[in-house]
Structures are given as C-alpha cells and as structure tokens.
Chains A and B, each alone.
Chain A
Amino acid sequence: MVVAQQQKTGAFQVLVGKIDDVLQYAIGDPMRYLANWGRLYSLWPVHLETACCSVEVGAAAGARFDMERFGTLEAFGSLRACDLIIVMGTVTRKLAPRLKLVYDQMAEPKWVIAMGACSITGGLYFDSYNVLRGIDDIIPVDVYVPGCPPRAEAFLQGLVLLQEKIRKAPSLSGR
C-alpha cells in the first residue's frame, strides 16, 4: 500500500516537474524562446576573411558539407543584416582595428566564432612581430574552434554549439 502511494506521488511529482518545464519553456518566457529559436537557424556571417582558415569555411559552404543546412550562408553583403562574425584565423596588427570596426557596426544581437589556433592564441605565429596572440582582447568570443586549420566538420560542430548556446540564452536579447 505504502509503496504504491509513494509511486503515485513520485509520478505526480514528475508530472508536475514536466508541466513546470513546459510552462517555463512555452508560457513562462515564450517570447524569449521564440525570439532565440528564430535567431538560431538564420545565422548570417560577415564576410571578413582574416587568414587561411577561410579555405575551410569555403569547403564547408561547398556541396559536400553544405553549411546552408544549418541556416548559415557563406557570404552576405550588408553588415547590418549580419549577426555572426567568424574570425577565420590570424588577426594581424593591420587588421585588428578593422575587425573591431566591423564588429561595432553589426547590429545586436551578434556572436563571434574564433576559428583556428591563430585566432585563439596566436598559434604557429606566436613569435611573429605582426600577429595578435588571440582575439579576446578585441572582441568577445562565443565559440572557439581549435585546429590549424580546423576541418570543415569541426567548423560545423562549432556552428551547432553556437546554435545550442543561442537556444539556451537566458534573456530576450539573445545573449
């Protein structure tokens, strides 16, 4: 008898928990969820190639890996319509101010993927006089994709991780 009752309350609690989850997702903050869901399948990157990893982005956009499955185009014209910036490799001292300028011009919400060892730590070019050791000092990074260069699959995984991050974003602003 007692056991059965315990099972009953247990199931009830699970039910309550589920309803709570559903409420939280669907009614508790429906706008947040909807807005972020809308964002995550239309990530449009800025076409700012910084170094050699752009070849692997090109391959990812090609017929074999097909980046558009995830709602991401390869090149898009206007900065105002873009919400993703993929830093494809080394950022040099000459490019750094331009990268910041491009980032500042983009409309909120915006995300950054640092692709390749160079954009994370400077990578192979740690002792070069013209290369920045990572881009964290200039712009905030959401997802790091390591590799030199990362394979196209690794880049796509980074993209999926970013989508996961946007889906779970705590606020309406997407961040």
Chain B
Amino acid sequence: MTLESEFSPDSDRIMSVSLGPQHPGAGHFRVRLWLDGDYVVRSEPDAGYVHRGEEKMGEYRNYIQNVPHLERPVILDSSNILFPYATGVDELMNSKVPARGQYLRVIMSEINRIISHMYFIAIQGYFQGHTTMIAWGMGDRDLWIDLAERIAGARVTFAYIIPGGVRNDIPEFAIEKGLKTCDWFDKRMDEYEKIYFENPMVHQRSDHIGVLSREDAIAYGATGTVARASGLKVDVRKDEPYSAYPDLEFETPVMTQGDAWARTYVALLDMREAVKIIRQALKKLPSGPVRLKLGPQPRVPAGEVYSRTEAARGEMSYHIISDGSPRPYRLKIGVPSAKNLRVLPHLLRDVHVADIPVIYWGLNYWPVESDR
C-alpha cells in the first residue's frame, strides 16, 4: 500500500509532512501525513522511538526482578501495568492473595487510573487551547500522587503491586486522607464539567471530530476509553471480575458518539466510578496480611497463562510462559496503546490538519507504553 498506488506520482497536490518526534503536538512519536492543502489524505504512524526491549529484558530477569522495569513503560499508570503481571504470576504459582492485599491492589489501581486520566484530560485541554484545564488538571493530579506516595512511598513509580500481594500495608492516616481526597475530588469533577466539558469552545473543537463507529472499534480491536466512547462496552473489571472487584459496586460508562469529545468525557465518567470504588474499598478494607511470603527468586511451575486487567487506557494483558526456571520463558505485554494504535491511521483521513492533535491525544495513546 504505497503512496503511488493510491495517488498518481506526478501529482504535486499531495505533500508529505512528518509530524514529530519533535513537535509540541506529538511527543516520542511521529506520524507521517500526506496532505492535500489543509486536508489529510493518508497517514502512517511511526512508533518505536522509545522501544526499550522490555520483553527481551524480561527473559533475563527473574519474576521479582521484573517488577521495576515493567512499570516504566507506562509511568502514569504504573500500578495498572503491574496488576496483570502479578495476577498472571499468582495464577501460575497457584497462590491465593490475602483479602487485604486484593483490596489494596484495587485501591492503588484506581488511584492510578485517576492519575492517568487527569494527565490525559489536562493535556487534551492544552491541545484545545483551554489553559485552565491543564493548570487545574496538573495541580489536582498532584493531590492523588500525594495520596499514592503516602501509601507506596514513591511519586510515580510505586512498584506496589507485586506477585503475591502488595509490597507494604497502607498506613492508618492514608485511609483518612484518601476518604477526604475522594470527597474533595467529587466536587472538583463537577467544576471540570462546568468549565471544560460544557464549554462551547471545547465542543466546537472536538464534537464530530475523529468519529469511530462501533463496528470499526470492534474490527480494529480498540479497547478502553476509545471503545467505550464508541458504544462498545468492554471492561475487564465487569466482564471477568478479578481481585476485589466482585465485592464493589460500580458502573461501566459507555457513550455512543465516538468522537473526540466523547473519548475525553468517558475518562471523566471513569474517574467518577474510580472515586466510588476507592471510597467503598477504603471503607470495606478487611484486616489481615497484605501479601504472601515469597523468596527473592521464586520458582514458578511450568505453564502458560494469559492474564488481563483493566488499565486506565484499556485492557492490559500479559502472555507469560514459564518453563519451570526462575525466569520467564516468554513475557508478552499486550498494552492498550498498541491495540489502539491501528485506529489512528483510520481516523486521520479527510480531516483538517488543525484537528490532528485533538484526534491523536483523544485516543489516549501513550507512545512509551505502545513501544515497550
């Protein structure tokens, strides 16, 4: 599928432009665009600027050593990328994580979902020229980071969810602070809705832009906010309840417009559900140990497992093959960004150049995660 097969080569109407990797609208990433005047005719994403070979590195390290480097690809959402890894290794080792550990995993995963979505909405506001949203979003995101820091001890890379449970218990004062943060954030989200989501300027810049139909969302394998904004109800937390999710009440928000605005708004609805889950889990938190005793080099029985959880961006999955040695034989990370990447060239057709940042960032695409 080369350019020549679609357009005549002597046509000088078509201009090829490269957006990124140095561009305020596309960090760590490049899209090649073929333009006809102000219209994008065709586009081709060029990923791989942050490909660090995590899967190969995973084969050189044992199951515990794998924890810190596995959370780097998606540093915004670092607990959620470890969650399926931990459940996968637990499944291979046939270990039962204590109830308190399960609840803490859920709490941390939901806090991370909010941290990730706040970053997403803040930058989306920035791309639409809405500077209030980036100032508020980045500032409020730090309060959730503070809460996570009180629980896990680090600012963004927590290494909190590990095989066998969570690394350490939650301190008493963090529960109180968590409930307070939830109450405060509920009010805050109403304000976002008023100032950003109901803003006519934002509607003008993102309504009916980059529309993805439900059929295409299924065919291209879209997950997470992208799929849910197009009316495809996928949520691993509901479809295949894991950890403490069966005990907690929440909804899966779904919208049907499938445009850039809906994709952003679904993230806000997701955060509302996340606050609900955190509040319930903090109140219901059972007592007991938080993790199983594991040696520094646990032996994992031979087997093959496909584990998945719902990360902020969508379905995060691991394909782990163990041959009985302390190191995984194969560690495949199926990240949501890589699943949503195929949607980008589909959407970047017959759109204005000025709409590219909104469409691109609306997919909630995080290049570091996609490249691994």
Contact = CB atoms under 8 A, between A and B. Distances in A.
Interface of A: 46-52, 54-56, 58-59, 61-64, 75-77, 79, 90, 92, 94-95, 98, 102, 124-125, 127-131, 148-149, 151-152
Is chain B's interface secondary structure helix, strand, loop, or mixed overall?
helix
Which bracket fits the contact residues of B?
35 or more
Contacts of A125: 52-53, 57, 69
Contact of B22 (A47, A54, A92, A149): A47
B290 interface: no
Interface in B1-49: 21-24, 27-28, 48-49
Interface of B: 21-24, 27-28, 48-53, 56-57, 60, 68-69, 72-73, 75-76, 119, 122-123, 134-139, 141-142, 145, 155-157, 368
A64 B138 CA distance: 8
A98 B122 CA distance: 28
B52 A49 contact: no
B49 A95 contact: yes
Given A52-B73, A55-B75, A128 B368 contact: no
B57 A128 contact: yes
B141 to A, nearest CB: 7
Nearest to A126: B57
A82 B24 CA distance: 13
A98 B29 CA distance: 12
A33 B49 CA distance: 40
Nearest to B76: A55
B52 A92 contact: yes
Contacts of B50: 50-52, 90, 92, 95
A76 B28 CA distance: 15
Contacts of B69: 124-125
Given A59-B141, A92-B48, A95-B50, 4 more contacts: A58-B138, A90-B52, A94-B51, A98-B21
Contacts of A49: 21, 27-28
Contact of A50 (B49, B137, B155): B49
A151 B139 CA distance: 15
B75 A130 contact: no
5 tightest A-B CB contacts, nearest first: A62-B138, A63-B139, A49-B27, A52-B75, A75-B24
A84 to B, nearest CB: 13
A113 to B, nearest CB: 16
Given A47-B22, A95-B21, A151 B155 contact: yes
B79 to A, nearest CB: 14
A56 B156 CA distance: 9
25 contacts: A47-B22, A47-B24, A49-B21, A50-B50, A51-B50, A54-B28, A55-B119, A58-B138, A59-B142, A61-B138, A62-B122, A62-B134, A62-B141, A63-B142, A76-B24, A92-B50, A94-B51, A95-B49, A98-B49, A102-B22, A124-B69, A125-B57, A127-B60, A131-B52, A148-B157
